[in-house]
Amino acid sequence: MSELHKALGDISSIRRQVAQSTQFRGYGPATLAATSAIAMLAAAAQSHWLPNPADHLWVYLRIWLTTAIVSAALTGAQMYTRTRRIHSGLSDEMIRMAVEQFLPAAGAGFLITYVLVHYAASVLWILPGLWQVIFSLGVFSSCRFLPRPMAVAGAWYMLTGLVCLTLDGKRAFEPWTMGLAFGIGQLLVAGILFFSSREDSDED
């Protein structure tokens, strides 16, 4: 029985090593382009129904947290089905690896938001910039198993986040600070994945 457990452990280790050396193709360009549209729609909704977000911070937070949850759910569901189809036997390892790479950034974003909302409401204007910087760290962390140009998307989110942090209080809540950052950023990610997949197909 011990030899059986050792053999199963060796197989699991080999599968993990193969997964770590394989480019992850579970993110679909069309789905990520859809999250870009969702971000732009959220910005348009904020512009129309929330002209003074600094005076209604809870509404502002609900708009963008709902946007993040919807986008994450859409991406996650599509990632699961696409990974099962493309990576087949390695799908569990590939999904686990993708989640492990992005989870620390997502967790940090949630915890920072919670702490600022409950204990430092006077500096909530830094949240849009912090969200973008944290998201960029998640992208950079994932770059090792994604196409190399994905670092450009990470740099985009880092740049937009730092720009947001230079704005004063009310301007940081303007719709474009989130809408353009994530709208253009997710479209950039979708484009990188689309053209990378075409190059892989041409090579094959």
pLDDT tens across 57-112, in order?
Answer: 999 999 999 999 999 999 999 989 998 888 766 677 878 888 888 999 999 999 99
Nearest to 174 by CA among 44, 71, 29: 44
In 3-state terms, the chain is what percent helix, strand and coil (to 5)?
85, 0, 15
Nearest to 102 by CA among 56, 126, 71, 124: 71
Distance CA 202, CA 195 (A): 11
- Give the chain's domain count: 1
- Does residue 3 sit in helix, strand or coil? helix
Distance CA 90, CA 181 (A): 33
Q: Where are the alpha helices (DSSP H) in 27-56?
A: 29-49
Range of the domain at 98: 2-203
Q: Which two tokens stand for residue 107?
A: 């967790």
pTM for this predicted structure:
0.86
The H or E element that residue 160 is part of is helix 150-165
pLDDT tens digits, 187-198: 999 999 998 876
Q: Which two tokens stand for residue 55?
A: 């005076």
Q: What pLDDT was estimated at residue 137?
A: 96
The pLDDT-based confidence of 22 (bands split at 50, 70, 90) is low
pLDDT tens digits, 123-160: 999 999 999 999 999 999 988 888 989 999 999 999 99
Q: What pLDDT was estimated at residue 201?
A: 47
